Chain A
Amino acid sequence: MTLLRKIAVPLGAILVFLLLWEWLVWAKGWPDYKMASPSDLWPAFWKYRWLFLENGWQTLWRTVAGLLLAVVAGTGIGMVMGFSRLAREALYPLLVGFNAIPKATVVPIMALIFVGRHDFNTIMIAFMISFFPIAVSVSIGLSTLEPEYRDILRALGASQLTVFRKIALPKTLPEFFGALKVSVTLAFIGTNLMEIVSPHGRGLGALFDSGKISADYPLMFAVLIALAFLGIVLYYIVVALEKVFAGWAERAPG
């Protein structure tokens, strides 16, 4: 597939989507306080461009910080569960239970406990919502390592650490990146939950909230599009990292 096609096809799909949206709003005759159309978005972006830049940056860095925490903690927990059956049996119900709690209910609790520490709260929610897939995938990747792989090195007198570094870690990378792609989108949800709910919030979530208060529908939709844009950018950064570190797992085309 040529580079041109790689870019043109998804861009074309986005264009078709926007046209359909525009057509739907036009055909239904919805006013922009009911449903904004794509042609309303650009003026909204332009009008609030500095707010978008500032708040977009706020949302982005907090999401990335939460995601990095999730990678560190998720990999750590996944390693413990992957290597120790005891830890796996002990931690799985706890993790699943924790993951089942809607994070929207955790937001007010966090906001109350760490009142005023908006950055910290936001990062923590982004982290809490996104570490689970990483922990599960790393633990499964490690616990399903075929024993022969371990034996090949252990028969030479290699330590557990060497087996992990030379085999278990690289072998788990494809699963890890698969989970990271899920976590990226989850982390944005976490960040925005806190930004929207928390009073005096910042970031795109807060911008959305202010749009809601002033019934500025084009602004609200513009925020959603900006979030989608950031999500796509971060997602493709992960895809690029995956190509570098786990490109070997990709099947040759055809």
Chain B
Amino acid sequence: MSAEIELRAVTHAYRTETGPLPVLRHLDVKMPPGSFTAFVGPSGCGKSTLTKLIAGLMRPDEGQVWLGGQMVRAPRATVGMAFQNPVLLEWRSILSNVLLPLEIVPNTLSRAARLDRARELLALVGLSEFEEKRPSELSGGMRQRASLCRALVHRPEVLILDEPFGALDAFTREDLWQTMARLRAEERFTAVLITHDLRESVFLADEIVVMSARPATIQYRMASRLPAARDLDILYTPEAVEMLATLRRQIQIAQGRDAA
């Protein structure tokens, strides 16, 4: 199952000591079920706020967030999240870390069914041999793979990725992009990706949204012109190069407005 995500006129500000700090301004986006949308934009433009609003961890000052035809008022079990920091629990094995959401989310799965589900995901990301290891025994890329498994183990309708590959080296990052593409082919979810990496957004997303500087609005939207099945070479095709050039120009415009 995957759900439609809809932001309706979302406006949000943080209350700070020097008065309210507006971060999002009148945001309207619709992401169809099963789609993969990347949000790119200047640092500090409120992209992470967006993930918290979609996850129901915060409520917008104005406007509404809708998931699968229901208005979001509180966190819901149909969401999975992964952050830049993999936040694995050091005292648990990798397998047990992946099982964590199933201990929280109401479900009727038997112990064996839960284990099967977790192992299925770990196999998909190539971590089968490491399920009994502690997080501290794994590399950064492997930890992030495990974190993705944890985000997906309860079959969420919505997957929220807040710069999950941001702290990894370039080669590992490209590996993880391919892992993500594989997960997307096997699992059903609507994905929201926050990233600073334009190549990442082009490789993974169906639609790329460029946000302006704070308070962020939607500055530019681009539907991917790439075929659904992609490998890394696709980043060097004329279509991809053109997309990247356009996106880079849009980011420069967004940053320029910030400096003015």
A interface vs B, CB < 8 Å? 146, 148-149, 151-158, 162, 166-167, 170-171, 173, 246, 248-249, 251-252
Contact = CB atoms under 8 A, between A and B. Distances in A.
Nearest to B54: A155
8 contacts: A149-B87, A151-B57, A156-B105, A157-B77, A157-B104, A157-B105, A173-B91, A252-B137
B79 A148 contact: no
A28 to B, nearest CB: 52
Q: Tell me the dominant secondary structure on chain A's binding face.
A: helix
Contacts of B85: 146, 148
B33 interface: no
A166 B100 contact: yes
B132 interface: no
A248 B134 CA distance: 8
Which 10 A-B residue pairings sit nearest by Cβ, starting from the closest? Answer: A248-B91, A155-B55, A156-B104, A148-B87, A158-B104, A157-B75, A148-B83, A155-B81, A170-B91, A155-B75
Interface residues of B, number: 28
Interface string B59-93: 00000000000000011110111010101011100
Given A151-B57, A151-B81, A248-B134, A156 B101 contact: yes
Contacts of A157: 74-77, 104-105
B166 to A, nearest CB: 13
A252 B80 CA distance: 32
A152 B81 contact: yes
Contact of A167 (B52, B77, B81, B89): B89
Contact of B79 (A155, A170, A251): A155
Contacts of B80: 155
Contact of B103 (A149, A166, A171): A166
